[in-house]
A and B are shown apart, each in its own frame.
Chain A
Amino acid sequence: VFQVHCDIKWHIQNRDSSVVNKFQKKFWKTKQTLIKVTGKKEDEHVVASDADLDAKLEVFHSIQRTCMELLKVIEQYQRRICFLSQEENELGRFLRFQGSQDKSRAGKIMQATGKALCFSSQQRLALRKPLCRLYQEIETFRYRAISDTWLTVNRMEQSRTEYRGALLWMKDVSQELDPDTHKQMEKFRKVQAQVRTTKSSFDKLKNDVCQKVDLLGASRCNLLSHILTTYQTTLLHFWGKTSHTMAAIHESFKGCQHKEVSTVKVRAFFHEEKNYRQKIKNMMIKALHGAKGLAFLQEQRPPVLLNGKLSVLYFILFMFLFFYSAT
């Protein structure tokens, strides 16, 4: 009976102490969590000893952020390519139509240019394919690699809180420590064991995080360089093709319009426009003073912006822009 009694007593004591122990662990962990959440200053040495880890976390967050940004940019870029292609196509069709109306040499040029523009607008869309691919790959990268690393980071943070909590506890019991006092030593050993276990799990996760972030960075570089090569090839191919077409047009109409449509003429055109606006303004003022002005206005119809003239201007501007950007 005595034996049983002792056993029960021992059992209860043991259970009590394990409950107390559990409670204490929770207490220090919560304390650390509170310190972290409230942004209270943490032990500078403890923080400093995690400097390498924190630097890696910074890299991780930057990868996370820039991947998001890249996705947004790709989406926008793609949309703009579509818009540009549409506009280009419309301009091409416009030139072709206007060119067919104009029986002069300029009409032919416009038709050829319009055709080239329509071709270019179609070719431009080819860029969308590698971009789509890039988008998908990055999306997958985010869902798989980043979220996996994120899980590890979270686990590490949990373990870091536990470890730092244990350090707080150890600091607390270290205030009054005497190796010759059995009771204090017993308590210290308990805390030491807690620090040891939490430290080893934290160190392991810390290592995991550092390795994963390194790997993440490297694999993203790999991914980008791989897919951007396709994009680059497509882009160069597109540029090559269109510039070839444009150069051919330029070549075939060489000399003929050079004299007719020079920059001087363009300038003169603008000058005329400006003068005309000024004239209108003046006339409006005059018109306010009497019908005479109004008659004058009718008489002096401005040189109608001839379809041909306008188109030639378009053409020159476009060619100019094109060659400018191609070089």
Chain B
Amino acid sequence: MAYAYLFKYIIIGDTGVGKSCLLLQFTDKRFQPVHDLTIGVEFGARMITIDGKQIKLQIWDTAGQESFRSITRSYYRGAAGALLVYDITRRDTFNHLTTWLEDARQHSNSNMVIMLIGNKSDLESRREVKKEEGEAFAREHGLIFMETSAKTASNVEEAFINTAKEIYEKIQEGVFDINNEANGIKIGPQHPTTNSPLSTSQGGQHAGGGCC
């Protein structure tokens, strides 16, 4: 499929917070209650439309287990957006956010848009982290915040799309240098890089898509 832009996303957070489930819900609109442990990284891709433009999200779903930490660090490079996920029913996953954030800031480019996600909002009865706490953390660190449920699909779409919108705005503002691939943004293959992004909606032949 033709796309005007490709954004590289990375999903990070403690093990078992539902990173892979969020991705599965977003790409396949499915929920799997039992998910295999992610080994290193898995990939997902989906097309979305912002401002009438096709944007391909290339999503890197990283392993949350500690033994993969050094490996997943190399995946931060060149990501335009990051979803930092915690589990609202497990306080410790919220407590580890600072470490994750430090890690992300240290190994990615400074313009990366980070979305804080409190997942499993369907498990209200087992909630350990208040929504206000998540909001406060996001405000304090300049992140966007949302509570989602990969199970009920609540806010999942929005989380991914809002991040993309934020990135798109940053491109419009000229914060991102779209010609530099290290920023995690690629321009659609049908256009020479010098083209204006405005003319992307109709594509010629292209070799987009094909992500695992």
Contact = CB atoms under 8 A, between A and B. Distances in A.
A-B interaction: yes
Interface of A: 43, 45-46, 48-50, 167, 170-171, 174-175, 177, 179-180, 185, 188, 191-192, 195-196, 199
Contacts of A45: 66-70
Contacts of B74: 171, 174-175, 177
Interface stretch (B35-43, B46-54, B110-118, B158-166): B35-43
A169 B37 CA distance: 19
Contacts of A175: 74
A195 B212 contact: no
Contacts of A191: 40
A43 B73 CA distance: 12
- Interface majority SS (helix, strand, loop, mixed), chain B: mixed
7 contacts: A45-B67, A48-B66, A170-B39, A179-B211, A185-B212, A195-B39, A195-B40
B77 to A, nearest CB: 9
A175 B77 CA distance: 9
Q: How large is the interface on B (under 10, 10 to 19, 20 to 34, 35 or more residues)?
A: 10 to 19
Given A180-B58, A185-B212, A196-B39, A171 B67 contact: no
A174 B41 contact: yes
Nearest to B78: A178
Contacts of A199: 39
Contacts of B69: 45
B184 to A, nearest CB: 12
Contacts of A170: 39-40, 71
Nearest to A189: B212
Contact of A171 (B43, B66, B70, B210): B70
Contact of B71 (A50, A167, A180): A167
Interface in B159-182: none
